[in-house]
Amino acid sequence: MKRIALGLFLLWAGAAVVRAEHGYTAHEWGTFTSVQGGDGHLLEWRPLQSSLLPAFVHDSHPRFNKGELVTLQRMETPVIYFHSTRSFKVDVNVRFPQGWITEWYPQADGLEKGAITWSNLNIMADPGRSDLLPQDKSGSHYFAARAVDSQWLRTDSTAKSEAEKFLFYRGAGSFQTPLRASIDAANALVVENTGARKLSHLFLINIHDGRGSFTEVDSLPSHSSRSCSASADWPLAELQKKIAARMAKALAGEGLFADEARAMVDTWTDSWFTDEGERVLYVLPRAWTDEILPLTLSPAPEKLVRVMVGRAEIITPARVSSLRQILLKAQAGDAAARARSEAELKALGRFAEPALRLVHLQDAPPAVRRS
């Protein structure tokens, strides 16, 4: 019995040493962006047309041409941070069964249509050099993620070693997200949770002509809906300050460290809280994320936090009608209307094409509009 007890103790002690050696936490954040019409239906769009990323980021665009991929969802800027007091190696595998991995950094050693793998990734307690991180003047949606007290990582499996403070990847695919946003007859925004799990921290945002408003909804139970009226609006700078603080607090409440939550907000302030239009931001359920985007880390972390934000960009009937009138005047030779239409399409950015499709549908027969 003593020998058995001693053996069990040594086995437990050995496991404890391994756990101490590899003990770490991993935190991930990212977004899923979709475009919806005023009726709440998802619209197809070209999600890769406006990818502002540094030149050093790897991509698979040559496989399908950057402007040709048409999908329902853009998986934007997921980053994975590692936290530990030790240096260690880890294998990371991300699967995206209903989509494509389109960009990543550092270089992966395994890439398929819907999966990416980093093997023997070096997680460094002390990098020792400040010049390891690549720099680039482009890519506004990348560098803010570095403002986090995380461990550095380095790949050695490729011809050129690459270092960063996080794993970065992006993708695109066609599938449903669990939020439907629509405009009712009273011109109010209605949000509906079509999924089986509660949605949390919904922010309904409206930005026009340098001013904006937002409404915050703490949670939306499964298969329920809520109508939201417009709140008081503020100058854009004041709106950004108010909502950024609230959003960062909400993300930290989901498990991110404060600097990680702030980095996520800073990454997207120029889009979430600046772009003209109406949108809904909300935290996706962790179980939904694990189903859509399975993540495997080996050795497994002591704790894994995954916080994904859904973004539903809404092209409202009022905006479609206004754009249609401007385009009709521009086609009739109105120079001022032509300038306004160009400005409106520029403001719509990567969402201009689905907006134009909605404009054309206004003149289509009812049967075509319902299809």
Q: Alpha-carbon distance 369 to 325, whole Å?
A: 18
Count of beta carbons in the 10 Å neighbourhood of residue 304: 17
Least confident of 15-19, 31-35, 234-238, 275-279: 15-19
Condensed to tens digits (0 to 9), the pLDDT of residues 150-195 reads 999 999 765 678 999 999 999 999 999 999 999 998 889 999 999 9
CB of 36 within 8 A of CB of 312? yes
Tell me the pLDDT of the chain averaged across its residues. 88
Peptide bond into 299 cis (omega under 30): yes
User: pTM for the whole thing?
Assistant: 0.90
1 pLDDT more than 70? no
The pLDDT, as a whole number, for residue 229 is 76
Condensed to tens digits (0 to 9), the pLDDT of residues 27-66 reads 999 999 999 999 999 999 998 865 678 989 998 865 556 5
Closest alpha carbon to 208 in 169, 177, 235: 235
Three-state SS letters, 111-138: EECCEEEEEEEEEECCCCCCCCCCCCCC
Local confidence band at 26 (pLDDT 50, 70, 90 cut-offs): very high
Condensed to tens digits (0 to 9), the pLDDT of residues 96-139 reads 999 999 999 999 998 988 999 999 999 998 776 767 899 887 76
Average pLDDT over residues 285-296: 98
Separation in Å, CA 315 to CA 23, 213, 274, 360: 46, 17, 16, 14
Average pLDDT over residues 300-315: 98
The pLDDT, as a whole number, for residue 11 is 40
369 pLDDT more than 50? no
Tokens matching residue 163: 């270092």
Local confidence band at 364 (pLDDT 50, 70, 90 cut-offs): low
The pLDDT, as a whole number, for residue 72 is 96
CB of 314 within 8 A of CB of 189? yes
The pLDDT, as a whole number, for residue 50 is 59
The pLDDT, as a whole number, for residue 366 is 53
Side chain identity at residue 305, one-letter code: V
355 pLDDT more than 50? yes
The pLDDT, as a whole number, for residue 62 is 52
